Amino acid sequence: MVTFVVNGRTRSLEVDPETPLLWVLRDNLKLTGTKYGCGRSVCGACTVLVDGKAKRSCVTPVGEVAGKQVLTVEGLPQNHPLLQAWLAEEVSQCGYCQPGQIMSAAALLTEKPKPTDSDIDEAMRGTLCRCGTYNRIRKAIHAAAGKGGTP
Amino acid sequence: MNEPVNLSRRDFMKTAALVGGGLVIGFSFPAGEGGAAGDTLVSGPFLRVGPDGMVTVVVNKSEMGQGVYTSLPMLVAEELECDWRSVRVEPAPVAPAYNHATFGPQQITGGSTSVRTEWERLSRAGAAARRMLVAAAAQAWKVPEAECRAENGVVLGPGGRLSYGELAARAAALPVPKVVPLKRQSEWRLLGRRVPRLDSADKVTGRALFGIDVDAPGMLTVLIARPPVFGAQVKSFDDSAARRVPGVRGVYRVPAGVAVAAEGFHAARKGREALRVEWDEGESGKLSTQRMRGEYAQLARRPGKVARREGDAAGVLAKAAKRIEADYDVPFLAHAPMEPLNCFVDLRKDRCIIRTGTQGQTGDRDAAARLTGLKKEQV
């Protein structure tokens, strides 16, 4: 039995503690906002926050988050500065990588409320976008930072 | 695009009839003289205006990020003169009415053709519906149509204002206009301007449903063990360990390799990892990046085909004081999006439901019919 908090709600699940958190979120909790892209932590699509820090959930065994706070894209309020900025800048194209991008950005803004371009490069480098929305992601992060974008 | 477009009733009804009844969930195609069933105004297979004022645009192209779920509704909304916020998208089912306008009898998205090839009929559908809504208001107020005008989801005229929702049922009963003028470019309110994408809100909140997100009670996850090189065949495999993995429900030899079906992704992957497969690699086994580079380098030394001749490059190069030579080498780039290819299949004795991200619905449907032995209409 693994117990942890997801988006503010305590969940206790009978799952193999080796199961990657990604698949507990998607298959057990039906929270499909967090995406599967590679299964080996090289694309960032699966990024969630665990106790405020960005984690690649595809390689994080769910046993490791026992007793911790997990935040997924579904846990962000609609008026969150990052979501507002993402819409204002029309960042998404196909949209598949965007939850991972947004959660990585949320982690960045927690550490660095006013990130520079290099801060953004460094923090966001592991989250890939095949549509090439990187320039707009950068603009959106700056815009959200202007409005105090911590989750 | 400002000549009137002739829209005969026969074209209208023919288009509507081609949308096979029963295949479209929630769609009621025209019956009788008008373009409607009940209180919903239906303008061909691509547009419905409901009594609640919601404008539903049926989009026959796949949204892959290129924006057709926004651009195609814009074509309709421009001519319909509706409020952009009342527009929603409904993906088209597989039916001939939704075939590509120029790529033959199939429903397919590609070649950067969607906006170009759908422009005419989507604009027409919107314009026809607008004319019918104006006619409905004129009828309600008992005034000439010329004294009424449509603007942003309402019709204004001597009787005041009536919303499209209020007019839908009455418009639905009217005959289809024969001549439907389209707007002049100078009259455009939406086209050529930045308009909020209809799919963005769902994409940033994680609500957007991708093929890989589809879920159903009792659904199994299947992963396929594929060969290390293209074209290799399974020589033999041992699934005894795979079958013992908790959650694994079956292991199958398939054309692509060996498939493991399990409850959830984690069990399927553990099952696949537990397989022992021996591959017959065939000719592809002898290929290597090094060997291919060598072959390309040799090919590059051959004279090329002349695509265009201007000036005297060879002569100038021969006389140049300084010549720079360089070899450029780019890696193989998979034409792959971030979402791994996937497909949901619910196969029963007499029907097959497939939910997948695809650019070619007709091809997929036909392939599934061939594989299952079902009729195309059952897929």
Buried b (16+ CB within 10 A) or exposed e, A91-106: bbbbbbbbbbbbbbbb
Rounded Cα gap, residues B220 and B347, in angstroms: 12
Is B371 at the interface with chain A, CB within 8 A?
Answer: no
Give A117's DSSP letter: H
Is B329 at the interface with chain A, CB within 8 A?
Answer: no
Is B341 at the interface with chain A, CB within 8 A?
Answer: no
B62 pLDDT higher than 90: yes
pLDDT of res. A148: 53
pLDDT band for position B1 (50/70/90)? very low
Give A33's DSSP letter: T
Strands B248-254 and B233-238: unpaired
List of chain A residues whose C-beta atoms are within 8 Å of the C-beta of residue B269: 39
Rounded Cα gap, residues B162 and B149, in angstroms: 11
- End-to-end CA gap in chain B: 39
Q: Quick check: B65 and A72 CB within 8 A?
A: no
pLDDT band for position B141 (50/70/90)? very high
Q: Quick check: B206 and A129 CB within 8 A?
A: no
- C-alpha gyration radius of chain A: 15
With 0.90 as the threshold, say if the pTM is over it: no
Strands A47-50 and A69-71: antiparallel
Query: Is the Cβ–Cβ distance between B75 and B121 less than 8 Å?
Result: no
pLDDT band for position B30 (50/70/90)? very low
Rounded Cα gap, residues B177 and B182, in angstroms: 13
- Positive or negative torsion for Cα B328, B332, B334, B335: positive
List strand residue ranges (DSSP E) for chain B, in order: 5-6, 36-37, 40-42, 47-49, 55-59, 87-91, 149-151, 154-157, 160-163, 179-180, 221-225, 233-238, 248-254, 257-262, 276-280, 344-347, 352-355
- C-alpha gyration radius of chain B: 28
Query: Which stretches within chain A are classed as H helix?
Result: 21-23, 81-88, 98-111, 117-124, 134-146
pLDDT band for position B328 (50/70/90)? confident
pLDDT of res. B37: 57
Is B209 at the interface with chain A, CB within 8 A?
Answer: yes
pLDDT band for position B109 (50/70/90)? very high
Rounded Cα gap, residues A6 and A14, in angstroms: 15
- Positive or negative torsion for Cα B91, B95, B100, B101: negative
Which residues in A have their CB inside 8 Å of a CB on B? 16, 19-20, 23, 26-28, 30-37, 39, 43, 45, 72-74, 76, 78, 83, 86-87, 90-99, 102, 128-131
Is B240 at the interface with chain A, CB within 8 A?
Answer: no
B11 pLDDT higher than 70: no
Q: Quick check: A94 and B266 CB within 8 A?
A: no
- The token duo for A35 is 């995406």
pLDDT band for position B193 (50/70/90)? very high
pLDDT of res. B331: 83
- In the predicted model, what is the mean pLDDT of chain B? 89
B327 pLDDT higher than 90: no
B26 pLDDT higher than 60: no
pLDDT band for position B260 (50/70/90)? very high
Strands B47-49 and B40-42: antiparallel
pLDDT band for position B329 (50/70/90)? confident
pLDDT band for position B179 (50/70/90)? confident
Amino acid letter, residue B355:
R
B29 pLDDT higher than 70: no
pLDDT per residue over B39-59, tens digit each? 899 988 999 999 999 999 999
Number of Cβ atoms within 10 Å of the Cβ of B230:
12
Burial class (CB in 10 A: 0-12, 13-18, 19+), A148: exposed
Segments of chain A scoring below 70 in pLDDT: 148-151
B4 pLDDT higher than 90: no
pLDDT of res. B330: 86
B10 pLDDT higher than 60: no
Q: Quick check: B338 and A37 CB within 8 A?
A: yes
List of chain A residues whose C-beta atoms are within 8 Å of the C-beta of residue B266: 16, 19-20, 23, 27
B21 pLDDT higher than 70: no
Q: Which residues contact B154 (CB under 8 A, 6 or more apart)?
A: B161, B162, B163, B164
Q: Which residues contact A104 (CB under 8 A, 6 or more apart)?
A: A44, A47, A54, A123, A124, A126, A127
Higher pLDDT, B140 or B19: B140
pLDDT of res. A69: 98
B332 pLDDT higher than 90: no
Closest CA to B232 of B279, B275, B286, B278: B279
Amino acid letter, residue B40:
T
List strand residue ranges (DSSP E) for B35-148, in order: 36-37, 40-42, 47-49, 55-59, 87-91
Query: Is the Cβ–Cβ distance between B47 and B56 less than 8 Å?
Result: yes
Q: Considering only A112-116, B226-230, B330-334, which range has the smallest mean pLDDT?
A: B330-334
- Positive or negative torsion for Cα B179, B184, B189, B191: positive
Is B200 at the interface with chain A, CB within 8 A?
Answer: yes
- The token duo for A78 is 């609609």
Give B175's DSSP letter: B
- The token duo for A63 is 């046993």
Give B47's DSSP letter: E
Rounded Cα gap, residues A124 and A128, in angstroms: 8
Rounded Cα gap, residues B225 and A97, in angstroms: 25
